[in-house]
């Protein structure tokens, strides 16, 4: 197997690593740093939203809490039922009112109608930007392609579909989203979102209660993983925004996925999912570990990409963007792929 060639960015690694260790000696510029001010932090703690106190007690019982967490929660926005309410409502509709959403989960049948795509992402401009992004970060994508054995067009297509190449990473604090969901343990806390749904049978009522508790436990694990990620890599969680359900970074990883799949792409000794090098290598590492091989056929590729985001609309969008990027560079699309409108799938010689 070919060995990944050194990249120019690696020459910065030693300096980046030194800078990281020097900075690590300083409190990072968020609530944790302000915790050292003593009286001010104590006063903030008195003003903490009471909804967070049981969560802090649980974190303390599990050996996670500390002065840094208390300072973060002292500044955190008040609890809201919205994060869990949106999630629970979406899950309820998918299970009991599935008709409008069924196509998101079911793969298209051979010979049947094509699975829809995200039309706001699947555009000529998105394909052009994706191709240009590869050229701008040519060394990075060549390294990732060799190191993880994943086509660069697939990686950039995932990057585009997730965050528009980093232009949109979410606008709400991931800490707040996950904490709000972790605190939401019963349907009664979500009346604004569940009150209008037809939860009109004992079966549905039991399902909602069980689901809300399960998602609360899930959010708690993600919250703990987010705290661990921030502590180990010197990040301020008060500065990390994410999706409505807590996914973070340019590659939109859930925090529990970070230990297994995130990669230190620029070799600076820390993982920063808001860094392009780390994000690109993390995407490639994720799908490789979920079974990606460049030799896979179209349907097998869809199944692997589905593991990144559980929607076949999503998977087909990613594959279509990758095909478009290949067409722009004169590379034929993967077997079974179709070149989006505007591309021929042929190289400059017409072969």
- Crossing angle of the two packed helices 124-136 and 152-163, in degrees rounded to 10: 120
Q: For residue 137, is pLDDT > 50? A: yes
**Tokens found for residue 239:** 């500065």
Q: 144-186 pLDDT, tens per residue?
A: 999 999 999 999 999 999 999 999 999 999 999 999 999 999 9
Give the whole-number percent of the chain exceeding pLDDT 90. 71
Rounded CA separation 24/191 (Å):
44
The residue among 179, 223, 14 whose CA lies nearest residue 82 is: 179
pTM, rounded to two decimals: 0.80
Point out which residues pair with 172 in neighbouring strands: 242
Selected residue with higher pLDDT from 238 and 12: 238
Give CA 79 to chain center in angstroms.
23
Q: For residue 12, is pLDDT > 60? A: no
Spans of all domains in the chain: 82-329
Point out which residues pair with 173 in neighbouring strands: 241
How many beta carbons lie within 10 A of that of residue 346, not counting itself?
12
Rounded CA separation 206/336 (Å):
44
Contact 191, 63 (CB under 8 A): no
User: What one-character DSSP code corresponds to residue 246?
Assistant: S
pLDDT tier, 120 (very low <50, low <70, confident <90, very high otherwise): confident
The residue among 198, 214, 244 whose CA lies nearest residue 95 is: 198
HSE at residue 72, side-chain half, CA atoms within 13 A, is: 26
Q: For residue 348, is pLDDT > 80? A: no
pLDDT at 338: 57
- The pLDDT of 296-320, averaged and rounded, is 95
Sign of the dihedral through C-alpha 224, 213, 182, 255 = positive
pLDDT at 16: 47
The residue among 51, 39, 46 whose CA lies nearest residue 77 is: 51
Selected residue with higher pLDDT from 63 and 111: 63
Rounded CA separation 306/166 (Å):
21
H and E: helices and strands count for the chain: 16, 2
How many beta carbons lie within 10 A of that of residue 300, not counting itself?
14
């Amino acid at each position: 197997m070919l060995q990944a060639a050194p990249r120019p960015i690696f020459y910065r690694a030693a300096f980046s690593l030194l800078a990281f260790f020097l900075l690590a000696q300083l409190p990072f510029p968020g609530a944790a740093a302000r915790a050292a001010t003593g009286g001010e932090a104590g006063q903030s703690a008195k003003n903490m939203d009471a909804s967070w106190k049981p969560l802090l007690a649980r974190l303390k019982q599990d050996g996670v809490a500390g002065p840094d967490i208390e300072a973060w929660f002292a500044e955190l926005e008040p609890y809201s039922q919205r994060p869990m309410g949106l999630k629970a409502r979406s899950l309820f509709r998918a299970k009991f009112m599935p008709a409008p959403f069924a196509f998101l989960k079911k793969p298209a049948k051979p010979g049947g109608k094509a699975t829809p795509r995200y039309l706001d992402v699947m555009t000529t401009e998105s394909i052009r930007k994706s191709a240009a992004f590869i050229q701008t970060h040519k060394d990075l994508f060549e390294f990732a392609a060799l190191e993880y054995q994943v086509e660069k067009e697939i990686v950039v297509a995932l990057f585009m579909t997730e965050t528009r190449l980093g232009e949109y990473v979410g606008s709400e604090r991931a800490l707040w989203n996950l904490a709000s969901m972790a605190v939401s343990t019963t349907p009664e806390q979500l009346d604004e979102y569940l009150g209008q749904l037809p939860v009109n049978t004992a079966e549905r009522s039991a399902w909602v209660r069980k689901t809300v508790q399960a998602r609360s436990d899930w959010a708690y694990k993600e919250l703990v993983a987010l705290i661990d990620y921030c502590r180990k890599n010197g990040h301020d969680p008060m500065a990390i925004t994410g999706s409505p359900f807590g996914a973070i970074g340019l590659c939109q990883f859930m925090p529990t996925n970070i230990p297994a799949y995130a990669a230190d792409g620029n070799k600076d000794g820390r993982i920063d999912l808001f860094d392009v090098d780390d994000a690109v290598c993390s995407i490639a590492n994720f799908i490789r570990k979920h079974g990606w091989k460049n030799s896979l056929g179209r349907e097998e590729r869809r199944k692997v990409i589905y593991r990144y985001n559980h929607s076949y609309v999503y998977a087909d969008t990613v594959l279509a963007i990758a095909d478009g990027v290949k067409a722009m560079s004169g590379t034929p699309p993967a077997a079974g792929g179709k070149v989006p409108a505007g591309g021929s799938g042929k190289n400059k010689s017409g072969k």
